[in-house]
Amino acid sequence: MFLKEPKSAFAESVRTARTGIMLSNLDIKHKVLIVTSSIPNEGKTTFAINQAFALGQMAKTLLIDADMRRPSIAKSLGLNDDAPGLSDLVTGERGLDECIDDHLSKDGRNVDIIPSGVVPPNPLDLLSSSRFGELLEQLSQDYEYIVIDSAPTIAVSDALVLAKYASGVLYVIKANATPYQLVREGLKRLRQVKAPVHHIVLNQLDIHKPSKYYGYGYGYGKNYYGYYKSYYGEK
């Protein structure tokens, strides 16, 4: 939508977020940005994709799908679901040239993509490995911005592990939907690992519809914990 409707309110909001990103940590040449949320379906992947396109207008950008539990970037961009990607890279089964999709860069959009690759049985182990850190260090030499779409923070620890590589974390919250207790818990977990949460993105907000702010009791949020732990298959 950022590319197709550049004059829309959505595109303007993405550009505003881009400005905030570019103005923060000005002394850091290569920025690694982790995009996460509290729970699934808050729009973090949509934001990550469109923000990568926005940053690609300014500098060479890489978009990585590190949500290997529920990967969706390849499907969203019309790429082959079976294409090799991040999991294949980290395990050493494929090389970098096989896993980077650069057709958007060739199309003049200056954005390369690494899809998730084969869904592994142990995503957290791959992201925690020294091989992943070495790979990210290598990629940081070639790209001004690396945007990483991560799993949500509540059910699994993937985003907490990725945060140690981040120059900034972008935390996406779905307006009038996500219980604020879950948001507070997700941010607390990130703060505990000293994650640089510099940007909060309030997503899908209807600015023309007045409403009370998240009228949920703690019991509702508590039910969400059990559901998403079961959903991701991790305690």
Does residue 3 lie in a domain region?
no
Q: 151 near 159, Cβ under 8 Å?
A: yes
Q: In a structure prediction context, what are the per-residue pLDDT tens digits for the chain, which is 235 residues long?
A: 888 888 888 899 899 999 888 887 667 766 899 999 999 999 999 999 999 999 999 999 999 999 999 999 988 988 887 889 999 999 999 999 999 998 777 666 789 999 999 889 989 999 999 999 999 999 999 999 999 999 999 989 999 999 999 999 999 999 989 999 999 999 999 999 999 998 899 988 877 765 554 444 333 333 444 444 444 554 3
- pTM for this predicted structure: 0.86
The CATH number that applies at residue 216 is 3.40.50.300
- Structural domain including 170 reads 9-232
Distance of alpha carbon 115 from alpha carbon 194, whole angstroms: 27
Residue of 174, 126, 145 lying closest to 31 (CA atoms) = 145
Does residue 4 lie in a domain region?
no
Strands 197-203 and 168-174: parallel
Does residue 30 lie in a domain region?
yes
Provide the number of structural domains found in the chain.
1
In terms of residues, how long is the chain?
A: 235
Does residue 1 lie in a domain region?
no
Does residue 171 lie in a domain region?
yes
